[in-house]
Structure 1
Amino acid sequence: MKLGWLEATVLTAATVANAKDLAYSPPYYPSPWATGEGEWAEAYRRAVDFVSNLTLAEKVNLTTGAGWEQEHCVGETGGIPRLGMWGMCMQDSPLGIRDSDYNSGFPAGVNVAATWDKRLAYQRGVAMGEEHRDKGVDVQLGPVAGPLGKYPDSGRVWEGFSPDPVLTGVMMAETIKGIQDAGVIACAKHFIGNEQEHFRQAGEAQGYGYNITESVSSNIDDKTMHELYLWPFVDSVRAGVGSVMCSYNQINNSYGCSNSYTLNKLLKGELGFQGFVMSDWGAHHSGVGDALAGMDMSMPGDVVLGSPYSFWGTNLTVSVLNSTIPEWRLDDMAVRIMAAYYKVGRDRVRTPPNFSSWTRDEYGFEHYIVSENYVKLNQRVNVQRDHANVIRKIGSDSTVLLKNNGGLPLTHQERLVAVLGEDAGSNAYGANGCSDRGCDNGTLAMGWGSGTANFPYLITPEQAIQNEVLNYGNGQTNVFAVTDNGALDQMASVASTASVALVFVNADSGEGYINVDGNMGDRKNMTLWKNGEEVIKTATANCNNTIVIMHTPGSVLVGDWYDNENITAIVWAGLPGQESGRSLVDVLYGRINPGGKTPFTWGKERKDYGAAILTVANNGNGAPQDDFTEGNLIDYRRFDKDDVEPIFEFGFGLSYTKFEFSDLKVKELSADKYSATTGKTKHAPVLGKAGKASDNLFPSGINRVRQYLYPWLNSTNLKDSAADPHYGMDAKDYIPDGATDGTPQELLPASGPSGGNAGLFEDLIQVTATITNTGSVAGDEVPQLYVSLGGEDDPVRVLRAFDRVTIGAGQEIQWTTTLTRRDLSNWDVASQNWVISSAQKKVYVGNSSRKLPLSADLPSVQ
């Protein structure tokens, strides 16, 4: 056999690092082929029919991006012109359409988690899906479960939901359902262990002055992987997600898009994922190696963004022709892509992209990077619909009231309202004045990086509060704002005469390619930004009715001021999107009774959370080693295990009314006995013949675009077509054992076609509790169910179920939920399966991780 492009770099998806005794990712081959089981059956059948009629080059074109800035979208595959199919468009972001116009700026994922409302998560998913669909996007690059939240100060935690895997998993699933019900493929990312921005890409780190040659390795043991980081991806697969994005980092010293253990074994083998795996932008590291390790689509196609070279494209064609990659593997890539396409109905609702990611000008170059083909790029299609309503609703319902000593709600009777702090006002450069929101000017409504969208407008708190006072006040209320955080004297003057001082402070974070004030994606610390503590100190020294409102991507350190007696209320508003000010005043003035709960823990000190972000290269110039030694003890689990008192615990949030919990009932349900999966797969389906090199030559009559990545050959001489100096090396020295084996394979014990063994998702126990609103106004409560698994090494308690319910004043409801086998199980490394231990299990119900008035022992179940 002959190897294709740049294979001298090593293929075994497990990077061998035993010389230094580093963590090791064992190989797992072959890459499982799609089966079309369950809800995928019809889409799979149609995909097989479609792919069976394609040429080798056409299959390759489905798998490879055309190159950075070559088409309209941030990533776009080649098309199949013979069948009237243009390339598939991949577009950021998890909170809206990046680099577009006339689109909405939705609240961040962390705000969705703070609502604890599955319905709102779904509605946001539908709205985002509709906007992407109407702009011509095929795949929305979201939602996010990586980072999960090992580090509270990690740069991109706000793109995801919560450091709790159950809360994240539920919100992931509902978001995916919404996006895909709107006719767009969702992409669950970043798979997996992508928990910090520092060192995520060697090249990016080198730009910051770090002398490393490989990306960081997240070293995760098998038990932690299953019980924590894999959990929300299970829920994503069960929700039918069409695509998964492999990450920049290494996992146990094997790159995320080269890691046969995580892609082949965990995702495709154990979870039965039927969709396709795409690379993150620049996370593709080898041609044959990544194909055999389970990657299905290269984004944006080039080896380095903007280069004319690709690991795939022509080189994938060469690798199939010289039998280095079996044709069944390419067939499986194409089938997975097309199955996702058909599953969400792209063939029914598809329109070509009507915008450009590279310019807001109406006209420009279609192939932007090489300035070719001047056309109309931006058709300026307005896709916003009435989505401002769901954005405003999520903003208000995600607002968390952390403290209230009579400061809220406001009454419209205040004589003078002071609005203090830069975070209340506008960005002097404009709402979209900083590329990818890469600054912290004015009020903060989303973080920075590729996970952003352009605002159509941004209602600031200053604007909304002033309008509220003018429109609904008694005509006698004064309102003044000081939004320069250095103007402390002026703030003191206004605060000293104010009936209420509304103080706005923030902290920001984002993706690692942007550095904001020395914060290279990850936050340098957990304090407030831009003199925020001094702004609070100034206000409280001059006004005994100070209310602090925070816009942050996660927890900040509030220990120096939260208990100040002049602070009558504290509000966390997160990153609420374009309706920020309106959402906030709905809560401040009592139109909406706050029901949000914090989706993370507020600790007294950074050290209370455990290990710090790795910011020092600790492996010479090789891959920095990030050892996940805390296992599954992150966030509230860490605080509980260490018996550390937080300031505000996970799941906490106040209301303008009060709730009581009573009458806990536990009932065992009948369920089948759990059995390990056994048997074998079918033979890998081969849907065509590769043909000869001469069948795949560059067609005549096509106007070649410079640097465009094509699937065709320039010569029948495969070595010349590959242009690879390493071509000719013997494949047997590099192809992992079993990687090209298409014969029936043994099924894994915990495996199943939709997230794993079906027995894991059977209901074993029903839990019921009564919740009473003992106050005088209607409000929303979030009943939360936690379980003690009982093992010595287990967390004290883990969240397993929740809901958001509306209860009238003086009314009561009965809340019922269930526990599945997965909810009560631990991962057993020896048997590679989920096992319910003999330890006594206990259930707790309440409204935060530390306010759990109801508890009961659970019956023994298997």
Structure 2
Amino acid sequence: MRYTPAAQWLPLLLSTLGVGASDADTEQLHKRALASSGPFYPSPWMDPAADGWEEAYAKAKAFVSQLTLLEKVNLTTGVGWEGEQCVGQVGSIPRLGFRSLCMHDAPVGIRGTDYNSVFPSGQTAAATFDKALMYKRGFAMGEEAKGKGVTVLLGPVAGPLGRMPEGGRNWEGFSSDPVLTGVGIAESIKGIQDAGVVACAKHFIGNEQEHFRQIGEAQGYGFDIKETLSSNIDDKTMHELYLWPFADAVRAGVGSVMCSYQQVNNSYACQNSKLLNDLLKNELGFQGFVMSDWQAQHTGAASAAAGLDMTMPGDTVFNSGLSFWGANLTLSVLNGTVPEWRIDDMAMRIMAAFFKVGLAVEQEPINFSFWSLATYGPIHWAAKKGFQQINWHVDVRANHANIIREVAAKGTVLLKNTGSLPLKKPKFLAVIGEDAGPNPLGPNSCNDRGCDNGSLGVGWGSGTANYPYLVTPDSALQAQALKDGTRYESVLSNYAASQTKSLVTQDNVTAIVFVNANSGEGYINVDGNMGDRKNLTLWKNGDDLVKNVSSWCPNTIVVIHSTGPVLVTDWYNNPNITAILWAGLPGQESGNSIVDVLYGKVNPFGRTPFTWGATRESYGTDVLYKPNNGKDAPQQDFSEGVFIDYRYFDKANSPLVYEFGYGLSYTTFSYSNLQVEKSNAHTYRPTTGETSPAPTFGNFSTDLNDYLFPSDEFPYIYQYLYPYLNSTDAKIASADPDYGQTASEFLPPHANDGSPQPLLRSSGKSSPGGNRQLYDVLYTVTADIKNTGPIAGDEVPQLYITLGGPDDPKVVLRGFDRIRIEPGQTAQFRVALTRRDLSNWDTAVQDWVISNYPKTVFVGRSSRKLDLSAPLT
């Protein structure tokens, strides 16, 4: 069923709601009304002929056609929190020798294990603007997950995108720009899945802050709310900003997508049929499976109808022993509330993703337990049952330290340099600040890195991993100083003013100050930062430390480790501050990577993946820190539309310090000879036709006796979730006081309709990522880049375009590359512009359309330094 465009019902709604309202109130009502999620049913079923999925679906069909109903339910339902070894697992199929699928974090490494690596954050990887490095990082992470027995790696991240710079988990993603994030997530997915592990793109969608994402978490912080936050996003903004990188993920062949905790347009993301059925599975043609975030499922049959394929970790609430699915899903299929084709579609999607990455039914065993690092313990952690070996301490690191060091170094952004860098055997080096040194209690002493003690290598939360070691800047700089014969001292405190002054006021000193700002996931509170940052200042007196040292020492270098931008307005222009570097979250090789940059072993080419505003207010967006809707769902209106980060700064002429895409080098480059070549692409044709009918794989018994829990000889595990019924009385078996309603009584019309469905004009027939013509090349743009400096270096040319309309950003990023150029040499920068690159989302026709407004292409070194331009005819 198609939803009705807002243009048809909005005027009536406004006339009803806006009576007597001010102009500002009416405008807000208008924007809120545009942010709607109309119902979309039925849930689109898989397309076995989809590009890149043909072989996987053939194998999935051969496997799923053998399964009983109970076995299909087992594939879709987690076994419960702490049920087995991984952070999430579904049931196994012993009859076919199929072990449980292991779903496990995370965005920077394998969470909660040992002998694994800690990689730089996605944000730091994005700062490299290097597609090959993004892929290499993803492949290495996939190799480590594969080596531990992980089936689905819960990453990479495109949500949060980075709407607010204070967002706690922005560092897990890539950038506040959708194109840079789209490249980052696509290359990471390719790498992870080429290594033989299913990638999981998350969190879908609008999950831009930690405050109020979960009811229990918010109540634990003293907020009395009954429903989670609603991110209210209009159709145009959704397509042109937040959905854009997920389209790239789908086109890259991602096997799974995780739906998010919060609501979107006042409908929970994991049961929002507009998001899952229409945008993801229908328009984008996603062929993998949708997995819930942990405890993000709120209904049973309704979430199945809305497009959810797997529930994690399976229980309604951690360790409750109850599930919306499991036995309830078995009952729902038996009584027809969930049609047979829908459970078959769930199982097919899961197994197609499994086979697509090259996995076989006979998988390698899971060789770790997330719940303990002890060698022996209970395999069923919650029940304390099955005492055996649970950790084999398999070392999966290989040579990944080299990749980590390279990404961290090449993702370091040189923001300022008046000539003090690169260092050349300085006579006297003084290193200042807690961020340069170790956590006194060890790098893993805080649960999920939930503190800010010592050098910051990664943020906190489920997106973390245990360090095998952490090379601190202090240790690495001291090692370099010893090699060079440099005098070296450090004060690893932010508060030792007298000792610091005594040190840095000596003759011939080069002072390097290390400072940081941290954030993470909402279940951990660090110094009042409930996941999201309270502000954009440096932590632990960092700003005063920088000001003091630079007032005492005329050669002060500042290194910032942070989860996003910080305010540097008060001190960045101080002439005594001769260099500033943003080193992001570099992972385990932190010290080595910053030494590589400081000493010129790596000529910096990192570019900032976000804007550095002059003030907190200059961003135009902020976290919603207090409920604004009584006890009901807090309402967060994305009323700025597509204007976030540099797009907002350009529109509002908001004060900034360093623009998006900015970064310096130890050499110089010139840009010339911009050429635009138009392609002979065909005229765009909307998709037409309809799908095949929903496929099913055989009948099943409807006798409840056939689904009872097995005999007493079958071991029952406490809190473990099974597909079996505990009674032939369906109402008792469901534990649902409302059991007995038919599908037609509580599900929307067409939810169970398995007949052929019309294809959306914007969708691609068997083409994941949308209408395949969106990716036709319309123009090829080239420019010459010359290294005009004395040493070899990498330049990062960037291509921006103006879409030309009155509601369009001044410029938007559409392409980039990293090019190695020797002194005096010239290299060519080339970008192919696609139809999607030049299009806007038309809310009336529900498709991408190239407007008649004039368009211009720019090539330059940042969003504000655009050396070359040409019209697109």
TM-score by length of 2: 0.95
Aligned-residue offset at 1:320:
0.4
Aligned residue in 2 for 1:764: 778
CA contact (8 A) 1:779 1:808 kept: yes
* Secondary structure in 1 matching 2:270: coil
Of the candidates 481, 497, 504, which is equivalent to residue 488 of structure 1?
497
Say whether residues 1:604 and 2:614 are aligned partners.
yes
CA contact (8 A) 1:187 1:242 kept: yes
Say whether residues 1:806 and 2:806 are aligned partners.
no
The amino acid of 2:620's aligned partner reads G
Aligned residue in 2 for 1:696: 707
Aligned-residue offset at 1:698:
1.7
Aligned residue in 1 for 2:467: 455
* Secondary structure in 2 matching 1:451: coil
Aligned-residue offset at 1:427:
0.5
* Deviation per residue, 1:94-121 (Å, 9 max, x gap): 1110000000000000000000000000
Aligned-residue offset at 1:730:
4.2
Of the candidates 352, 359, 362, which is equivalent to residue 365 of structure 2?
352
Check 1:349–1:662 CA distance in 2 against 1; reply closer, same or farther (3 A cut). farther
Say whether residues 1:530 and 2:543 are aligned partners.
no
Q: Structure 2: any 5+ residue segments left out of the alignment?
A: 1-12, 18-28
Say whether residues 1:261 and 2:274 are aligned partners.
yes
Aligned residue in 1 for 2:519: 509
Say whether residues 1:580 and 2:593 are aligned partners.
no
* Secondary structure in 2 matching 1:827: strand
Aligned mates of 1:180, 1:622 — CA distance in 2: 41
CA contact (8 A) 1:140 1:185 kept: yes
The amino acid of 1:265's aligned partner reads D
The amino acid of 2:564's aligned partner reads G
The amino acid of 1:642's aligned partner reads A
Aligned-residue offset at 1:697:
1.9
* Deviation per residue, 1:579-632 (Å, 9 max, x gap): 000000001011110010000000101111112211121111010000000000
Aligned-residue offset at 1:429:
1.4
CA contact (8 A) 2:36 2:234 kept: no
Say whether residues 1:643 and 2:653 are aligned partners.
yes
* Secondary structure in 2 matching 1:737: coil
CA RMSD in angstroms, aligned pairs only: 1.3
Aligned residue in 2 for 1:849: 863
Aligned mates of 2:318, 2:620 — CA distance in 1: 36
Aligned residue in 2 for 1:7: none
Quote the sequence identity (%).
61
CA contact (8 A) 1:282 1:299 kept: yes
Aligned residue in 2 for 1:156: 169
Say whether residues 1:654 and 2:664 are aligned partners.
yes
Aligned mates of 1:288, 1:624 — CA distance in 2: 26
Q: Structure 1: any 5+ residue segments left out of the alignment?
A: 1-15
Say whether residues 1:826 and 2:840 are aligned partners.
yes
Aligned mates of 2:540, 2:175 — CA distance in 1: 26
Aligned residue in 2 for 1:622: 632
Aligned-residue offset at 1:351:
1.0
Say whether residues 1:470 and 2:482 are aligned partners.
yes
How many pairs does the alignment contain? 840
CA contact (8 A) 1:436 1:448 kept: yes
Aligned mates of 1:735, 1:531 — CA distance in 2: 55
The amino acid of 1:557's aligned partner reads L
* Deviation per residue, 1:817-852 (Å, 9 max, x gap): 110000000000000000000000100001100110
What aligned pairs does 1:2-21 form with structure 2 within 5 A after superposition? none
Aligned-residue offset at 1:687:
1.1
* Deviation per residue, 1:639-678 (Å, 9 max, x gap): 0111224210000000000000000000101111101011
* Secondary structure in 1 matching 2:624: coil
Aligned residue in 1 for 2:340: 327
Aligned residue in 2 for 1:592: 602
Aligned residue in 2 for 1:137: 150
CA contact (8 A) 1:24 1:254 kept: no
* Secondary structure in 2 matching 1:299: coil
Aligned residue in 2 for 1:106: 119
* Secondary structure in 1 matching 2:514: strand
Aligned mates of 2:98, 2:690 — CA distance in 1: 36
Say whether residues 1:550 and 2:563 are aligned partners.
no
Aligned mates of 1:715, 1:81 — CA distance in 2: 24
CA contact (8 A) 1:825 1:837 kept: yes
What aligned pairs does 1:207-226 form with structure 2 within 5 A after superposition? 207-226=220-239
Check 1:629–1:326 CA distance in 2 against 1; reply closer, same or farther (3 A cut). same
Aligned mates of 1:575, 1:279 — CA distance in 2: 28
Say whether residues 1:706 and 2:706 are aligned partners.
no
Aligned mates of 1:723, 1:636 — CA distance in 2: 52
Say whether residues 1:440 and 2:452 are aligned partners.
yes
Aligned-residue offset at 1:558:
0.2
Aligned-residue offset at 1:349:
8.1
The amino acid of 2:735's aligned partner reads A
CA contact (8 A) 1:507 1:528 kept: yes
Aligned residue in 2 for 1:29: 41
Say whether residues 1:789 and 2:803 are aligned partners.
yes
What aligned pairs does 1:154-553 form with structure 2 within 5 A after superposition? 154-347=167-360, 350-412=363-425, 414-471=426-483, 473=484, 475=485, 477-497=486-506, 499-553=509-563
The amino acid of 2:774's aligned partner reads L
Check 1:427–1:302 CA distance in 2 against 1; reply closer, same or farther (3 A cut). same
Aligned-residue offset at 1:795:
0.3
CA contact (8 A) 2:860 2:868 kept: yes
Larger CA deviation: 367-376 vs 543-552: 367-376
CA contact (8 A) 1:46 1:339 kept: yes
What aligned pairs does 1:731-742 form with structure 2 within 5 A after superposition? 731-742=743-754
Aligned mates of 1:568, 1:348 — CA distance in 2: 59
Say whether residues 1:74 and 2:83 are aligned partners.
no
The amino acid of 2:130's aligned partner reads D
Aligned-residue offset at 1:695:
2.1
* Deviation per residue, 1:244-263 (Å, 9 max, x gap): 00000100000010100000
Aligned residue in 2 for 1:773: 787
What aligned pairs does 1:710-749 form with structure 2 within 5 A after superposition? 710-749=722-761
* Secondary structure in 1 matching 2:360: helix
Aligned residue in 1 for 2:20: none
CA contact (8 A) 1:197 1:522 kept: yes
* Deviation per residue, 1:533-570 (Å, 9 max, x gap): 11112211211000000000110000000000100000
Check 1:813–1:348 CA distance in 2 against 1; reply closer, same or farther (3 A cut). farther
Aligned-residue offset at 1:733:
2.4
* Secondary structure in 2 matching 1:142: coil
Of the candidates 579, 582, 604, which is equivalent to residue 569 of structure 1?
579
Aligned mates of 2:710, 2:51 — CA distance in 1: 40
Larger CA deviation: 497-506 vs 106-115: 497-506
The amino acid of 2:776's aligned partner reads E
* Secondary structure in 1 matching 2:52: helix
CA contact (8 A) 2:97 2:361 kept: no
* Secondary structure in 1 matching 2:143: helix
CA contact (8 A) 1:183 1:349 kept: no
Instruction: Give every structure 1 segment of 4 or more consecutive aligned residues whose post-TM-superposition deviation is greater than 3 Å.
Output: 18-24
